[in-house]
Amino acid sequence: MSLLVVGLSHRSAPVSVLERAALTVDAQARLLHDTVAAEPAAEAAVLATCNRIELYADVDKFHAGVAELSTLLALHSGVSLEELTPYLYVHYEDRAVHHLFSVACGLDSMVVGEGQILGQIKDALARGQELHTAGRLLNDLFQQALRVGKRAHSETGIDRAGQSLVTFGLEQLAGREPVHAWAKGKRALVIGAGSMSSLAAATLARSGVDEVVVANRTLDRAERLAEILTEGGTGVVARAVPMSQVAEELTRADVAVSCTGATGLVLTAADVEAALAGRVGDVRDDVRDGHDGSACDDDDCVIAPHATAERTAEAVAPDTVTPAPETGGCPVGRVGDETAYEQHAALVENSPAVGGGPVRVGRVAPAVVPAARAASLYLLDLAMPRDIDAAAHRLTGVRLVDIESLADASADAPMAADVDAVRTIVSDEVAAFGAAQRAAHITPTVVALRTMAADVVSGEIARLDGRLPGLGDKERAEITQTVRRVVDKLLHAPTVRVKQLASEPGGAGYADALRTLFDLDPETVAAVSRADLLSNAGGQQNQLHENDEPKRGRA
């Protein structure tokens, strides 16, 4: 029997196909039962997340196994086999082991190094055990994958990959300006309260935003995250709101980060456009008095200053105008206040401050506002499938960065060494797992050989008792021990050597050779395997609890 995995993921299939192929818990159970009922497969496990659907099986025939597993995936996903086939990938034996270990370490995740996959692998193993579809091979494989994943996170800095992605995304939003300078004074809306959303919220808080609003379907989790942020010592004001208030909060936010497990869009382009309109309406209500687009009593106001010849002849430059006095004057802001420039440029048409030309609502005048402030609403989408409609980036005044545009973040120099270290761990563990499995394959044969030898010794001692009935107990015990030592010494070297040879690639034939040379009964070998499997089942359950991952993500 050999390990085979057939699946599709965000690396092989578009989001639309992944969404259609998603498996419910009941569908996963039916798929597992049908797989083990199929002729090529002896055991099966399903790893199903929002970004991947993989079916693992122990099969006796490669081509028949691929055909059967592909057909079953199509049947239970509801996507036709013809449509699904171009997006399927297949891994066999050592390559299948390497794939799962890489997945467990987060190397194959959309967010490189994320830790949630460990909990999902544990759930897949528990489901296979509960439904009795996971046998010895898959139990060993998934248990080892959990250990390899934990080793990668403890021995390397792969955890920093998620941090690098969030930071990289914020850097893209900030443009040429440092993130701390860009974030200072902003109001942030974080949609979701999972590991990536929590990481983004904490990063924004450390970067100097004034306020973080957390929206989540489960309000308790949002409140908990807001409480952690408030107690974090950054001085940020944090509060939680239900998802129903996202549209309202978006009208107040300067930057919004979204990372949920939703299968559909959380924010459509229409939602973002409505939020922009709401933002503009709110500000106009605040500053309507004295700012009707014609004139303002404050000489330093850049919205609608007095129409003097000097002011209409030249644009106002922020670095050459003296700020207005502390009291009185323009209620929106002072000349030299970058926030005021952004608001003024977004609100006023035909403003002399931008050279007398019309300024579209939501667009920042480049002559007044620095390049880093070229948007009035910044959106960072860290979800896959995406949470924010990609069409939103075409809206005036919106800057959208999504996870697909950050695909190269994992290749950043600070992460390269950690990724290489994890790959080395995976390669070493794959080799060790293969050697252990090949050695385990010959163990029942070796046990059967030693059992046969012990039976031969017992038979000869019984024959000696019949020939020498007067033999004393002391002498009989000494003879028995001597014979057993002789047999053990004769078998020691060949059995140790055959285990070493069997653990090497291509060593599977040594078990057959041993059975042939010593004329071992195949049924005896099979009985040893069954007994070993039964005794191992309880240990696998205990080990699963030891590998429990109470924290599915890292905040």
49 known ligand binder: yes
Which residues, in sequence order, are CB contacts of 376 under 8 Å at separation 6+? Answer: 254, 276, 279, 342, 346, 362, 364, 397, 398
Determine the Cα–Cα distance for residues 354 and 366; give it in Å rounded to an integer. Answer: 9
16 known ligand binder: no
195 known ligand binder: yes
120 known ligand binder: yes
Q: Length of the chain in residues, anyone?
A: 555
- Tally Cβ neighbours within 10 Å of residue 430: 21
Closest CA to 137 of 31, 35, 1, 40: 1
Amino acid, single-letter form, for residue 411: A
User: Any idea what DSSP says for residue 545?
Assistant: H
Token code pair at residue 523? 């049924």
116 known ligand binder: yes
Cα distances from 396 to residues 182, 249, 355, 377, in angstroms, run 19, 19, 20, 9
Determine the Cα–Cα distance for residues 352 and 303; give it in Å rounded to an integer. Answer: 8
205 known ligand binder: no
- Bond prior to 385 in cis (omega within 30° of 0): yes
452 known ligand binder: no
Closest CA to 54 of 86, 77, 82, 80: 77
Query: Cα Rg for the chain, rounded, in angstroms?
Result: 34
Closest CA to 443 of 532, 516, 539, 536: 532
Instruction: Check 50, 296, 301, 330 and give the catalytic one.
Output: 50
136 known ligand binder: no
296 carries an active-site annotation: no
216 known ligand binder: no
Task: Name the residue with tokens 């990959």.
Answer: 161
109 known ligand binder: yes
How does 497-510 read in b/e, with b if 16+ C-beta sit within 10 Å? ebbebbbeeebeeb
327 known ligand binder: no
Task: Name the residue with tokens 């050989």.
Answer: 449
User: Any idea what DSSP says for residue 262?
Assistant: -
Closest CA to 259 of 380, 352, 99, 157: 380
Determine the Cα–Cα distance for residues 200 and 553; give it in Å rounded to an integer. Answer: 13
DSSP 3-state helix, strand, coil percentages of the chain (rounded to 5)? 55, 10, 30
Output the known binding site for NADP(+).
192-197
Residues annotated as catalytic are 50
Output the known binding site.
49-52, 109, 114-116, 120, 192-197
Output the known binding site for substrate.
49-52, 109, 114-116, 120
